[in-house]
């Protein structure tokens, strides 16, 4: 049955305020600065999907972005802007593997713009990071099981936890990274049917793999 648990929907404002503070903390990092290009893929899934009527199999989406970074030998910070995309089978740009459904019977479509903020200490070429990913979905299709029709939230907020590894080059650096994204906001708008009801609308999680090229500007 759709929705088994009545969970209060927690206010996201404390997360948004904390994200703004984190962004301000990221700015004064002194040292090398650069601009970069990010190519990535997300392995997306919805925990406890059966309880909320969401698709049960995972799917991948492609990410293309640019970012500004500031770092020294002790810590680093970056702020980026990304486009996240996965087209459905019957239209749009779709790459194999990085934009695919794990279940052939599933056909998810998503397009979003994101702003991400990540900070963390540096240990040589290794840079553990935490941060925030704020996104707005222009398109969301196929995330519900057949026969269900509930509106999806346009806004989403994710908390990334992970690490990057960067190798220096004569122009800057090339790097690889991996992060675990924990969704904070409901995937679905309040799907409660009773007056004054407040249900959880599911959460969105992802495993991110990225390749970056950074050009030093100072």
How large is the average pLDDT for residues 59-72? 93
pLDDT tens for each residue of 127-175: 999 999 999 999 999 998 877 778 889 999 999 999 999 999 999 899 9
Q: Which long-range contacts (CB under 8 A, 24 or more apart) does 12-21 make?
A: 12/157, 12/184, 12/185, 15/132, 15/157, 15/159, 15/184, 16/157, 18/132, 19/117, 19/132, 19/134, 19/157
pLDDT of residue 197: 43
- Whether 201 shows a pLDDT value over 80: the answer reads no
Is 96 inside a domain boundary? yes
pLDDT band at 82 (very low <50, low <70, confident <90, very high): very high
Is 7 inside a domain boundary? no
pLDDT tens for each residue of 175-195: 999 999 999 988 987 655 544
pLDDT of residue 37: 97
Is 68 inside a domain boundary? yes
As a whole number of angstroms, the distance between CA 135 and CA 116 comes to 9
pLDDT tens for each residue of 24-65: 555 554 567 899 999 999 999 998 888 788 998 999 999 999
pTM for this model (two decimals)? 0.82
Is 4 inside a domain boundary? no
Is 164 inside a domain boundary? yes
First to last CA, the chain: 58
Is 2 inside a domain boundary? no
Helix, strand, or coil (residue 20): helix
pLDDT of residue 195: 43
Is 144 inside a domain boundary? yes
Is 180 inside a domain boundary? yes
As a whole number of angstroms, the distance between CA 148 and CA 171 comes to 52
Which structural domain range is residue 189 located in? 13-216
The domain spanning residue 202 has which CATH number? 2.40.160.20
Residue with more model confidence, 149 or 21: 149
Q: How many domains does the chain have?
A: 1
Among candidates 45, 80, 54, 39, which has minimal Cα distance to 209? 39
Among candidates 189, 179, 207, 182, which has minimal Cα distance to 140? 189
For the chain, state the CA radius of gyration: 18
As a whole number of angstroms, the distance between CA 216 and CA 204 comes to 34
Q: What are phi and psi of 69, to 5 degrees?
A: -130, 150
Residue with more model confidence, 217 or 44: 44
Q: What is the dihedral of CA 32, 35, 41, 45, to 10 degrees?
A: 70
The gap from C-alpha 109 to its chain's centroid, in whole angstroms, comes to 15
């Amino acid at each position: 049955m759709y929705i088994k648990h009545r969970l209060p929907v927690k206010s996201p404002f404390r997360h948004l305020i904390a994200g703004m503070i984190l962004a301000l903390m990221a700015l004064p990092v002194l040292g090398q600065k650069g601009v970069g290009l990010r190519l990535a893929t997300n392995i997306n899934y919805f925990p406890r999907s059966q309880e909320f009527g969401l698709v049960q199999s995972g799917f991948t989406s492609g990410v293309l972005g640019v970012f500004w970074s500031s770092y020294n030998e002790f810590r680093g910070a970056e702020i980026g802007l990304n486009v996240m995309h996965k087209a459905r089978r019957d239209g749009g740009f779709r790459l194999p593997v990085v934009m695919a459904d794990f279940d052939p019977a599933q056909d998810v479509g998503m397009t979003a713009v994101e702003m991400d903020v990540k900070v963390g200490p540096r240990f040589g070429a290794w840079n553990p990071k935490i941060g925030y990913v704020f996104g707005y979905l222009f398109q969301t299709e196929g995330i519900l099981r057949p026969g269900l029709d509930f509106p999806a939230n346009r806004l989403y907020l994710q908390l990334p936890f992970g690490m990057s590894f960067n190798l220096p080059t004569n122009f800057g650096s090339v790097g690889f990274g991996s992060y675990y994204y924990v969704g904070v906001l409901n995937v679905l708008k309040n799907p409660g049917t009773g007056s004054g009801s407040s249900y959880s609308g599911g959460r969105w999680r992802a495993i991110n793999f990225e390749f970056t090229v950074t050009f030093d500007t100072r």
